[in-house]
Amino acid sequence: MAATVRASSVAVGIETDAVEPLYHLGWAHRAVKEAARLAPDRLAHGHYIRLLRSGMVPGATPGLDLLLARDRRA
């Protein structure tokens, strides 16, 4: 899947530096949609907000690292 995303981004002319922000934007979009269905006290436990947060923590993030072809030991 990561190789397909990289190939597709090259094919359509997306700059390599834009892939990571687009990745986060995709999860943010899903988190906002999910928030409309959740009770306010459940927002922090939403599936997509947790995915968004997990991709933004310092250190290795396996899915994002694969997508960006980063060294996973960083």
Contacts of residue 54, Cβ cutoff 8 Å, sequence gap at least 6: 61
d(CA 55, CA 10): 22
Higher-confidence position of 29 and 20: 29
Rounded to the nearest integer, the mean pLDDT of the chain is 86
Pick from 72, 64, 61, 58: nearest CA to 25: 64
Higher-confidence position of 16 and 40: 40
pTM of the full structure: 0.74
Q: What is the pLDDT of residue 25?
A: 93
Contacts of residue 73, Cβ cutoff 8 Å, sequence gap at least 6: 60
d(CA 5, CA 66): 10
